[in-house]
């Protein structure tokens, strides 16, 4: 089976600046892949090159088996795109907008079903310009999935969502992934990457500085654990690569009060990778 995305040596220069400095990417079909990185790291540039909206300065790029620079409408109809910027059909209602987009695809999903899935049924007759920021974002997502894409690009999809809607949105994305949709996600939310992504890559100043599963990124799974507990003398802590052995020896058959074992969170590892670790 071919990859959904295969990139070698991708480079993008803007006048006076290198935005993407030679990256390789492989995303398998059916995979949820998250691109992480600080503001200005080159995520949007990379994603928009894969979507065919920007031209690379150099590199080999294959998306769903084709080069975005030369691929045609058939290829484009297999992509779902949720951009960071809102587009302007503000006079139309939500339902009109989704129906209008659905007509652009050869095998669209039922617009009403999609509106329901992004929880905008109550707003179906409302004009787009009257939506709140989070509702507008959900409409963007509806427009990204109404064409039944094989590959869905989500550029910071949950910015502006309230926590509850965000959780339900994650369920929606997991459902699409289970249904076989390949998803490339950019996000600033580490918890989002952890919940959704099979693999993540961290981009910093145009280069990939780490890549792996959320559980193993930056050797997170092998990092020392911090064991904390309390006894009659007060609180104690110990860093160890072998917490199970340590606790077994320490405790014998007594119960340790307030025992916790923690390893670096994805956020700790991420901040370290981009040079902001404390």
Ligand X SMILES: Nc1ncnc2c1ncn2[C@@H]1O[C@H](COP(=O)(O)OP(=O)(O)OP(=O)(O)O)[C@@H](O)[C@H]1O
- Site residues (vs ligand X, CB under 6 A): 14, 17, 19, 37, 39-45
Closer of 141 and 201 to ligand X (Cβ): 201
**Exposed, middle or buried by CB within 10 Å (0-12, 13-18, 19+), for 70?**
exposed
CB of 42 to ligand X, least distance (A): 4
Count helices and strands in the chain by DSSP H and E runs = 9, 12
CB of 14 to ligand X, least distance (A): 3
Which uninterrupted H or E stretch holds 53?
none
Closer of 204 and 227 to ligand X (Cβ): 204
Q: What is the dihedral of CA 217, 218, 219, 224, to 10 degrees?
A: -120
Here the tokens at position 103 are 């007509």
Helix (H, G, I), strand (E, B) or coil at 227: strand
For helices 133-145 and 94-102, the axis angle rounded to 10 degrees is: 20
Closer of 30 and 160 to ligand X (Cβ): 160
Residues 6+ apart with CB under 8 A from 117: 142, 145, 172
CB of 45 to ligand X, least distance (A): 3
CB of 160 to ligand X, least distance (A): 14
CB of 158 to ligand X, least distance (A): 14
Closer of 47 and 146 to ligand X (Cβ): 47
Closer of 171 and 267 to ligand X (Cβ): 267
């Amino acid at each position: 089976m071919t990859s959904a995305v295969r990139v070698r040596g991708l480079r993008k220069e803007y006048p006076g600046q290198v935005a993407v400095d030679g990256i390789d990417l492989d995303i398998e079909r059916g995979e949820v892949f998250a691109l992480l990185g600080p503001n200005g790291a080159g995520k949007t540039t990379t994603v928009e090159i894969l979507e065919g909206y920007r031209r690379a300065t150099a590199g080999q790029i294959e998306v769903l088996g084709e080069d975005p620079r030369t691929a045609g409408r058939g290829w484009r109809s297999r992509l779902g795109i949720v951009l960071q910027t809102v587009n302007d059909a503000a006079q139309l209602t939500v339902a009109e907008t989704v129906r209008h987009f659905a007509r652009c695809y050869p095998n669209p999903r039922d617009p009403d079903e999609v509106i329901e899935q992004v929880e905008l049924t109550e707003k179906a007759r409302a004009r787009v310009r009257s939506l709140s920021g989070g509702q507008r974002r959900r409409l963007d997502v509806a427009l990204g999935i109404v064409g039944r894409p094989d590959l869905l690009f989500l550029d910071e999809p949950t910015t502006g969502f309230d926590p509850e809607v965000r959780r339900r949105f994650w369920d929606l994305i997991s459902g699409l992934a289970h249904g076989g949709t390949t998803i490339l996600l950019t996000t600033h939310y580490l918890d989002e990457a952890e919940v959704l992504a099979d693999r993540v890559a961290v981009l910093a100043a145009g280069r990939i500085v780490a890549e792996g599963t959320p559980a193993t990124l930056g050797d997170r799974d092998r990092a020392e654990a911090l064991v904390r507990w309390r006894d009659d003398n007060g609180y104690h802590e110990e860093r160890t690569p072998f917490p199970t052995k340590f606790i077994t020896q320490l405790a014998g058959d007594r119960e340790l009060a307030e025992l916790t074992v923690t390893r670096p969170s994805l956020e700790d590892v991420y901040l370290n990778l981009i040079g902001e670790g404390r």
